[in-house]
Amino acid sequence: MTIQTTFEDICANRHGGNSCSADANKRAPKERDRQWVLELIAISSEGLTLKEACRIMGKTPNALSGRISELKRDGLVYVSGRRDGCGVNYLYLGVDVCV
């Protein structure tokens, strides 16, 4: 599976073009983190929340929420239900992930 590589900042509207956020967007290991989150969702039979992904990956929500948003934008994952105050992310059927 090929994950889109882009420096587009999916969270640009949220931080209003703050220069520090724009610089962080360019430095973030987005492709690696997107793949890791996708693999975690794929192996989770009960879906995966942002908080759960953060605990597993040792990252903060601001570091991973954009990756989940990108996966949703790309049509790879969807949200169904809530757990612990977060949406539960699932992999769409037919999405092939090598884990």
Amino acid at 47: G
Fold of 13-91: Arc Repressor Mutant, subunit A (1.10.10)
Residues making up the chain, counted from first to last: 99
8 Å CB contact between 38 and 19: no
Q: How far is Cα 18 from Cα 75, in angstroms, rounded to an integer?
A: 28
Residues 39-50: tens digit of each pLDDT:
999 999 999 999
Domain boundaries, the chain: 13-91
Q: How far is Cα 87 from Cα 80, in angstroms, rounded to an integer?
A: 7
For residue 22, give both structure tokens.
Answer: 């724009």
Q: How far is Cα 42 from Cα 36, in angstroms, rounded to an integer?
A: 10
- E strands, the chain, in order: 77-83, 86-91
Q: Is the pTM of this model over 0.75?
A: no
Residues 11-37: tens digit of each pLDDT:
566 556 666 655 665 656 899 999 999
